[in-house]
Structure 1
Amino acid sequence: MITSKDNPTAVKSKQWILTALLNVMEEKDFDTITVKEIAERAGLDRKTFYRHFHSKEEVLYLQLQELCQIYIEELKELPELSAYVITKSYFSICAQYSHFFMLLERNELLSLVLLKFNEYLPALNNLFLDNPSYRNKPKYELMYQAGGFWNVTNRWIRDGMKESPEKMAEIVSAIMPSPIM
């Protein structure tokens, strides 16, 4: 996550690199994109790229990390944490960033989303500790629920994200115990 204490120049450089990568992904398959191309498109040199990132995938993690933070902050602001409300919030954010998710899907990179999502499970879990129906759930049950949630999301993205966030919230909240993450 980019924080306010980060160097403003570094923050800008990271954002330029992310934007450059996404722009190049519009034109080429991810596997064929070079760091040199990304750096040139960002107006930076390769050293700057490697100062901030170890790989192209890590650049995409920057966007995923920001989306996870947006989701957590949105959940903190919700007056209630029902399965429907949580799920609607999640799918609304995904819909807002549909272009990004479709780029990932086109390049067979959706698995990166699950990796980043799993990193945030403990933080998401902490949001629900006050809810007695959620408290003390075994870690394997949480992972099972997260896997099902992810598979629904993955199918939705692969199908072109046609259903509205509200419809997806209805579908998921009907099959997942409340609250979910």
Structure 2
Amino acid sequence: MTYYRTYENKEDVVIQFLKTRTDRLLKQFDEGNYQNRYEWYKEIFEEILEQKEITYKILKTPQLCAVALEHFNNFAKVLLPRVYKIEGDSTAMHNRIIYQTGGFVFLMSHWVLDGCRQSPEEMAHLLDGYIHNQ
């Protein structure tokens, strides 16, 4: 009964699940707990690995996957201007957000759907290289 009093549908559950994790990651980024972005990326992939079964189910359910994609896009709109220290709403920033969010989501999705065979360290290295064009 608590479930039905708290959430209207599965999409609300997924939004709360993702919001809890992304809020924590954003707080960690803002606090500057990492020597470099690689460490932060590694933390993201470790979190995904801890929740890989749930993430897999979200990715395999079209409605839930759409909700997750929208959440990640909104998260990127908050995060990336902080990462690049850009203020205002420019087309270039908007396009960068779309590009990097899509790249991350597809990289993460492929990793989870493929059974998380690479380590979080390997995935963080890949992401760091892609984002910094290495």
For the superposition of Structure 1 and Structure 2, which TM-score range results when normalised by the shorter chain? 0.7 to 0.9
- 1:81 Cα deviation after fit: 4.3
Structure 1: gaps of 5 or more residues: 1-43
Higher relative contact order (CA 8 A, sep 6+): 2
**Aligned pairs for 1:1-181 within 5 A:** 44=1, 49=4, 51-77=5-31, 78-82=33-37, 84-108=38-62, 109-130=64-85, 135=86, 138-177=93-132
* Cα deviation digits, residues 104-160 of structure 1 (max 9, x gap): 234443333211111212321343254xxxx36521122111111111011111101
Structure 2: gaps of 5 or more residues: none
Distance 1:147 1:161, change over 3 A: same
Q: State whether residues 91 and 169 of structure 1, in contact with CA within 8 Å, keep that contact through their aligned partners in structure 2.
A: yes
Task: Give me the whole-angstrom Cα distance separating, in 2, the residues matched to 1:159 and 1:75.
Answer: 28
* Cα deviation digits, residues 38-66 of structure 1 (max 9, x gap): xxxxxx17xx72x5333221122111111
- For 1:95, the aligned partner's letter is L
Q: How many residues align?
A: 127
* Cα deviation digits, residues 44-92 of structure 1 (max 9, x gap): 17xx72x53332211221111111112112223324443x223212111
Q: Percent identity?
A: 21
**Cα RMSD, aligned residues only:** 2.4
